[in-house]
Chains A and B, each alone.
Chain A
Amino acid sequence: MSEWLEICRLEDIPRLGSRVVERADGNIAVFRTQDDRVFALDDRCPHKGGPLSQGIVFDHKVACPLHDWVIDLEKGEAVPPDEGCTHSYPVRVEGGVVYLSLARASAAA
């Protein structure tokens, strides 16, 4: 069963920007795109663990700050030619509030 956790208001995340949710077992990066969609990924690049939250956001993608891999925000997958995947989390925005579910993370753990 998924439990939705409230993390912030939509306007707390800048458009084409991100925020970090701190967690003991690894941070989660929360992104907001130009069209106001919100996505959440483990804040670890599949390449060498770079903090994706610090990357440049464009379209539904983020470019990792360390070596410029581009990661798809919806699936967490690296855009070819690079290969790799980082964990993504379900997100809901309701009434201007952003909710996050850790369901799949706990299932995987």
Chain B
Amino acid sequence: MAKERLVLIGNGMAGVRTLEELLKLDPERYEITVFGAEPHPNYNRIMLSPVLAGEKTIDDIILNDRAWYESNGITLHTGNPVVGIDRRRRVVRADSGLEAPYDRLLLATGSLPFIIPVPGSNLDGVLGFRDIADVEAMLEAARQYRKAVVIGGGLLGLEAANGLMKQGMDVTVVHLLDTLMEKQLDPPAAALLKQSLEERGLKFHMPAQTTEIRGDGRVEAVAFADGSELEADLVVMAVGIRPNIDLAQRAGIYCERGVVVSDTLQTYDPRIYAVGECVQHRGKTYGLVAPLFEQAKVCANHLAGLGYARYEGSVTSTKLKVTGIDLFSAGRFNEQEGDETLVLQDPARGVYKKLVVRDDRIEGAVLYGDTMDGSWYFQLMRDRADISDFRPTILFGQHDVGDAGHGDEKTRVMALPDDAEICGCNGVCKGEIVEAIVTKGLFTLEEVRAHTKASSSCGSCTGLVEALLASTVGEGYEASPKKKPLCGCTDHTHDEVRRAIVEHELKSIPEVMRFMEWKTPDGCNKCRPALNFYLVVAWPGEYSDDYRSRFINERVHANIQKDGTYSVVPRIFGGETSPAQLRALAEIAEKWEVPTVKVTGGQRIDLLGVRKEQLPGIWGDLARAGFVSGHAYGKAIRTVKTCVGSEWCRFGTQDSTTMGIKIEQMTWGSWMPHKVKMAVSGCPRNCAEATIKDLGVVAVDSGWEIHVGGNGGIKVRVTDFLVKVETMDEVLEYTAAFLQLYREEAHYLERTAPWVERVGLHYIKERIVDDADNRKRLAQRFLESQRYAQTDPWKERAEGADRHEFEPLRLVRGVA
């Protein structure tokens, strides 16, 4: 059976969004043809303002390139407007004479800028602000001329004026009233806006009624009703838009101000649908994208034959896209009889907030200077929520409701509920964004845009989306996808360096620096320790550690303290000790007059306040008593904490102590990207706190659960569940594999928590749970490297290694 034919007239934001929604629902249903009057593929019209301001290029704002149409089997005719619709034959005719038959027709012709019909409005140099051609003409004028007049002090006019000013023109905004953006702002907010635009260099001529545009061929001046006149080489009319209904009217489709549609976005001709600015729904027309996108969703639902969605109109909110000016407005913001207004004014910070309230419900909001809570107020307004509980503090923002946060954007966005709308244009809520970030492992703003559409239209919620990314992904998040060099000595990233080391068999720090064209002769204190670690991992047994590239703690195998003395923490496997061990420790502490002996948070004993030159001696004694270094100083395996487990505990299900000791015996001595802490608990009561460790094992009746990526430090993170296994040997194999994957792939100084968040748990599962062979290979490589790593650094130094570190020089008098 032949497919039904769908023709779209108008290759703009609403029409193509409808196609996108349709393709999601039923990609096979139609053979689709698109006619666009403009010569471009579908682009983000909203972003014309930043393009005019020089902040974006045309390429940046293309939404769907030609390849997209092609790969979805859509026939695209650009620069070819439809000039007639024959509803009886069900055919549209384009300017070029081309005809296309349809079974369903979608009208999305947008609107046209309203040009005030004054004398001279057809002169050269008088433009609207609607499409790429207008922007190109404005940019061209800005190169040649100086003086611009923008008629219209609304959203569009101010964005045009700001852009032209950024292009170096001398710009005056002419407005009929004495309040800017009177449809969105009350007089105090408008005054603040005017003031900050003036500070940026815009001029205003208002109130003023334009009566004539003067010029000979090209515009030269604008004249006003009060007799005044302004010189002008360019006039931009931004006084409003008019739904583009000419074509529909000529085809006899019922129109009033716009093409009249029902709640299913159908026109009076049931085969013809319409969406976007050209439509009139329940008596209203819209000029913003959010409602059009809602229409697109509903329309697609009907085109796909599902037929259950209803469009019931939209409540809109506005933001101004002038970089550096934060402005938000929604609903009915000018108070009427019976309304109450809540106002917060902080002139020093340039902040103004007003809420119009009636019967404890928000009717409208105007925010200037701090718009962070705009989406929250908007949500409360749309939900008709009763605000009486938090009315006294509502103006301080959502973070002030309930327990207080720190008030920065990140904390505040964290405090938002999941259903809070972040992106007003596309109707994307916080929960959806967070879920996409987590489940799809998104890492950059671009990826979030691609997956959720949040912040992909007007971009004013970019800050919020970035804050969400930062708080969800954690410290490793980068604001843009640009690659981050390892340090100032190189342009290469951690990953590039690691790859080169392996692929090109680079086996020493100077070799890496030469091969990768380091910019400094011998690196710095950031890159050298990283390179040293990468080489240790890549060439176990072969690479000889460069101790000069290690931080002092790792060089002298003890923690430097604030007074320059050191601490000594011997390893106590699994936290289980014995009277003999304790006695030995006690004797050594006494012999060396150790000032402080402390039980650490890692289930072992710290000898604090040891002088550097005492270290080899004390280590020698410890080695003789059977102790090895606890690596409490290293980017290395630290501790494996355990609980008493089934040996003693009445709830214990497995022998967690033995498990922990086995893990620590297998892993001690291994160098890591950052410190690694592990724990084993004997039952889900989890007394060893295993679920905030880099790797935590929790015993259950039927075996062992392995959890990874926890952190109990600066930013607490609970582990992710990796896998459940039955035997101790399996626990050891998974542990070795996980640690080796981390060693081989994490960036130096990246703990497991941010690493897991960066690469995604899914990836880690793929590598070590789903792929048993890979797991075994990883574990094998770990054990192989342990053959070289498990030498006690203390014993070696007690026997004379690196002696110069511990012996001071003496001055010898002499002549030279």
User: Chain A: residues with CB nearer than 8 A to chain B?
Assistant: 3-8, 12-17, 19-23, 27, 30, 34-35, 48-51, 54-59, 61, 63, 65-66, 68, 70, 92, 94, 97, 99-100
Kindly identify which residue among A12, A57, A58 contacts B809, using a CB–CB cutoff of 8 Å.
A12
Which residues of A lie under 8 Å from residue B523 when comparing CB positions?
58
In the complex the two chains form, what is the Cα distance from A19 to B806 in whole Å? Answer: 9
Kindly identify which residue among B521, B528, B549, B812 contacts A5, using a CB–CB cutoff of 8 Å.
B812
In the complex the two chains form, what is the Cα distance from A20 to B809 in whole Å? Answer: 6
**CB-CB under 8 A for A54 and B552, given A14-B804, A21-B810, A59-B520:** yes
Contact of A56 with B548 in the complex, beta carbons under 8 Å: yes
Contact of A94 with B522 in the complex, beta carbons under 8 Å: no
Contact of A4 with B564 in the complex, beta carbons under 8 Å: no
In the complex the two chains form, what is the Cα distance from A102 to B594 in whole Å? Answer: 34
A51 to B, closest residue via Cβ: B564
Which residues of A lie under 8 Å from residue B522 when comparing CB positions?
16, 34, 58-59
Which residues of B lie under 8 Å from residue A15 when comparing CB positions?
548
Residues facing A in B521-548 (CB within 8 A) are 521-525, 528-529, 548
Contact of A23 with B811 in the complex, beta carbons under 8 Å: yes
In the complex the two chains form, what is the Cα distance from A61 to B811 in whole Å? Answer: 24
The answer to whether the Cβ of B1 comes within 8 Å of any Cβ in the partner chain is no
Contact of A58 with B560 in the complex, beta carbons under 8 Å: no
Most A-side CB within 10 Å, residue of B548, B551, B560: B548
- What's the nearest-Cβ distance from chain A to residue B354, in Å? 42
User: Chain B: residues with CB nearer than 8 A to chain A?
Assistant: 520-525, 528-529, 548-553, 555-556, 560, 562, 564, 804, 808-816
- What's the nearest-Cβ distance from chain A to residue B754, in Å? 20
Contact of B564 with A19 in the complex, beta carbons under 8 Å: no
In the complex the two chains form, what is the Cα distance from A50 to B553 in whole Å? Answer: 13
Contact of B814 with A65 in the complex, beta carbons under 8 Å: no
B556 to A, closest residue via Cβ: A54
Kindly identify which residue among A5, A49, A58, A94 contacts B524, using a CB–CB cutoff of 8 Å.
A58
Contact of B814 with A6 in the complex, beta carbons under 8 Å: yes
Which residues of A lie under 8 Å from residue B808 when comparing CB positions?
19-22, 27
Contact of B548 with A99 in the complex, beta carbons under 8 Å: no
Contact of A55 with B810 in the complex, beta carbons under 8 Å: no
- What's the nearest-Cβ distance from chain B to residue A87, in Å? 16
Which residues of A lie under 8 Å from residue B556 when comparing CB positions?
54
In the complex the two chains form, what is the Cα distance from A14 to B552 in whole Å? Answer: 15
Kindly identify which residue among B524, B804, B816 contacts A4, using a CB–CB cutoff of 8 Å.
B816
- What's the nearest-Cβ distance from chain A to residue B35, in Å? 60
B529 to A, closest residue via Cβ: A56
Kindly identify which residue among A23, A49, A58, A65 contacts B552, using a CB–CB cutoff of 8 Å.
A65
**CB-CB under 8 A for A34 and B521, given A14-B804, A54-B552, A66-B560:** yes
Contact of A4 with B521 in the complex, beta carbons under 8 Å: no
**CB-CB under 8 A for A58 and B810, given A34-B522, A97-B816:** no
- What's the nearest-Cβ distance from chain A to residue B359, in Å? 56
In the complex the two chains form, what is the Cα distance from A7 to B525 in whole Å? Answer: 27
Which residues of A lie under 8 Å from residue B548 when comparing CB positions?
14-17, 56-57
Contact of B810 with A22 in the complex, beta carbons under 8 Å: yes
In the complex, 9 of the A-B residue pairs with CB atoms within 8 angstroms, ordered by the A residue number, are A6-B811, A14-B548, A21-B810, A34-B521, A54-B556, A58-B525, A65-B552, A66-B562, A92-B816
In the complex the two chains form, what is the Cα distance from A70 to B526 in whole Å? Answer: 11
In the complex the two chains form, what is the Cα distance from A13 to B811 in whole Å? Answer: 15
In the complex the two chains form, what is the Cα distance from A17 to B816 in whole Å? Answer: 24
